[in-house]
Chain A
C-alpha cells in the first residue's frame, strides 16, 4: 500500500504586528478546519519567524507549506514552489527564507521535501493585535483555496496545479 505523504503547514510572523499575523491566523483556522476534516497526515506549526532548526523539522516531512504575510504587490495571495537557495545568506535573522531553510535541510540532512510558500498580502504592520479588513479578506480567499484542495484529495494533496 502506498504510504501517504506527511505534510507540514507552517505559518510564521508576529501576531502582535497587525497583518504580520497572517501566517499564525491561517494556522488557527486550519486547526479548526481539521477538527471537522480530520487528517492525521497533516501537521501544523507556527512561530514568529523561520530559523535554522526548522531545517531539521522539515526534513521529517514529505511536503511543506509555509504561510507568510507579504509586503509584495501581489493580488490577494499566491502559492509558489520553493527551491533550495543560498542566495539570501547575508541576512538579518528576520529574513530567513523558506528557500534558505530548504537549502540548509538539503545540505545537512540530505532531504528535500516538496516545499511551497503561500504568501498572503498584508497592508499594516503596527503594534496592533488585529488583522486589517483587507488582509482578512485575503486570508479568507487563501484559506478557501488551500482547504478546498485538502478536502478534494486528502490522500495526494497538490498545493498548485501540476
Chain B
C-alpha cells in the first residue's frame, strides 16, 4: 500500500505552501514535493502601466521584501532611461540605494534568525511547539528577543529614511533616487540613543553570529548531516569577485567550486537561464540552459552567495568568512543548515556596510538622477535576502510596459527546496507509522533554511492551519492532523 502525507501549510515560512510525501507499503519515501501557490498574475498586472510606476507597483508583490522588488525594478528601468546597467548612477543615487538595500538585508535576515529559525536552535527541532517560537524566546532569553525586535526596527528605520513610507516607498526612481540623506538622519543612525545606532547593530550582528557558532559546535553532527546535498550555486558577484548584494555580474559554480557561469552581464540572462513548468506546481523550475534540467538547477541565497564570491569587502565579515570557508577547506558549502551561518555573516556584512555608508559624505549629495538615451528593454538583478531576483521589462512607444518577466528568489530555489524536503522526509519518516509534530517540523526546518517568500499575497489569505493528511492509493484518508 502507498501512503500520501500532506503537510499544509508550512508554518513560519513567508506565505504558505503544501508538502506531500508519498510512501510505499514498507514505509519507504517514494517521492516528496513542495507545492507552492504563486501568484503569477502580477506580471500581467503591470502590463499597460507607465514604466516609471513599476518601482512602486512591484512593492505590492510582497509585504515581506518590497524593497528588493522596488530596487530590482528601478535597476531595470535605469537601463530603459539610459542610465547604464547598474553602474551609471550618481554616487549619491547609488549609495542611497545601497543603504536602503543593506537596511532591507539587515532587517530581513534579523527577522529570519530571531523569529523564524532561532526557536529551532534554542528549543530543538523536535522541541515543545508551545514554546518553540519567539514568545518562547521572550520568556527564556528576553535579551535575545529584544535584540531581534530592535535589529528589525533599525533596518526598518533605514528603509524609511531612504525609501520613504512603509507602503508606497518611492525612494528609487528610474535613473537614481528622489532624496538624499539629511545630516539629522545620518547622525541619528550613527549616534542614536542605545541601542538604535550603527555601532550597536554591528555588535549585535556579531553576537548573533557567535550564538549560532556556539549552537553549531554543540550540534555539529546534526547540522552537518541535516539535508546535505551537493548542488550548483548562483549569485551576483562584484567584477573583482567580491560579495556584492546590490550589483555585479552573474556567476555560478558547481558543487566543487568550478565556475559554470563565467561572470556574465545579466542583461543577457535569458541566454543562459531557462524556466521549466511542471504540472504539479504553480512555481517554475529555473536551470542553466547549458547543463539542462537535470544538472543545471542551482541554489541561490546566503549559502550560494558565500560559495560564489571570492571575498567579502568588510573586515569583520571577511574574518568570519575565512573561518566559515575553512569548514569546507575552501570548497563550496552544501550544508542546508549552514545557510543560517552564511545568513548571519551577511547580516554582519550589512551592518558594517551601513556603518561605512553613513560615514560617506556622498549620501548627503544633491546630484540624484542620471539621464540618458531611452531604451526599449531593461533587466534589473539584485541579490534579495533570499537570493537572486530578476526583473525584466520591455516598453512600447507610449512608454507603457508591454512585457514583464520576474524570476523571484524563491522560484530560483524551487528545485533545491524540493530536494531538501525529500532528504529530510527520507531521514526522519522512513519506516514510521505515525507522523509526529517533530517530524513535521523537521521538514519545515529544511524549507525554512531557504527563507522562502511564498507570499505575494495578502495577510488575510495567509491564515491557514497546519494540516497533515495521510491518503492510501485509493484516495482514502488514513489519518489527518491539524496544528490548531
Contacts and interface: CB of A to CB of B under 8 A. Distances in A.
Contact of B45 (A49, A55, A109, A127): A127
Interface size class of A (residues with CB under 8 A): 35 or more
Interface in A65-113: 68-71, 86-87, 89-96, 100, 103-104, 107-109
B138 interface: yes
Contacts of A56: 149-150, 153
Interface in B137-179: 138-139, 142, 145-146, 148-150, 152-153, 156, 165-168
Contacts of B61: 16
A107 B145 contact: yes
B466 A125 contact: no
B165 to A, nearest CB: 7
Contact of A94 (B14, B66, B107, B152): B14
A68 B148 CA distance: 25
Contacts of A46: 165-167
Contact of B460 (A57, A70, A103, A109): A70
A107 B138 contact: yes
A100 B136 CA distance: 12
B15 interface: yes
Contacts of B142: 107-108
A23 to B, nearest CB: 10
Interface size class of B (residues with CB under 8 A): 35 or more
Nearest to B453: A93
B115 interface: yes
A17 interface: yes
Interface in A1-46: 12-17, 20, 24, 45-46
Contacts of A94: 14-16, 63, 455, 457-463
Contacts of B41: 126-127
B146 A108 contact: yes
Contact of A104 (B14, B138, B455, B463): B138
Given A127-B39, A127-B45, A17 B115 contact: no
Given A16-B57, A90-B466, A91-B12, A52 B459 contact: no
Most buried by B among A16, A50, A125: A16
A103 B62 CA distance: 25
Contacts of A49: 63, 459
A47 B63 CA distance: 8
B135 to A, nearest CB: 5
B380 to A, nearest CB: 19
A20 B459 contact: yes
B133 interface: yes
Contacts of B153: 53, 56-57
Interface string B423-460: 00000000000000000000000000000000101111
B324 interface: no
A48 B59 CA distance: 10
Contacts of A125: 458, 460-461
Contact of A92 (B15, B129, B165, B168): B15
Contacts of B407: none
Contacts of B66: 48
Contacts of B468: none
A129 interface: yes
B152 A95 contact: no
Contacts of A96: 459
Contacts of A70: 460
Contacts of B14: 92-94
A147 B12 CA distance: 37
Given A90-B12, A95-B459, A107-B145, 9 more contacts: A16-B61, A47-B166, A57-B153, A70-B460, A71-B461, A92-B16, A92-B455, A100-B135, A104-B135
Interface of A: 12-17, 20, 24, 45-53, 55-57, 68-71, 86-87, 89-96, 100, 103-104, 107-109, 122, 125-127, 129
23 contacts: A13-B460, A14-B63, A46-B165, A48-B66, A48-B166, A51-B111, A52-B134, A53-B152, A53-B153, A55-B149, A69-B458, A89-B135, A90-B11, A90-B129, A91-B11, A92-B463, A93-B15, A93-B64, A94-B463, A95-B463, A108-B138, A125-B460, A127-B45
Shortest beta-carbon contacts, A-B, top 9: A16-B60, A94-B462, A48-B63, A94-B459, A20-B458, A53-B152, A107-B138, A89-B133, A53-B153
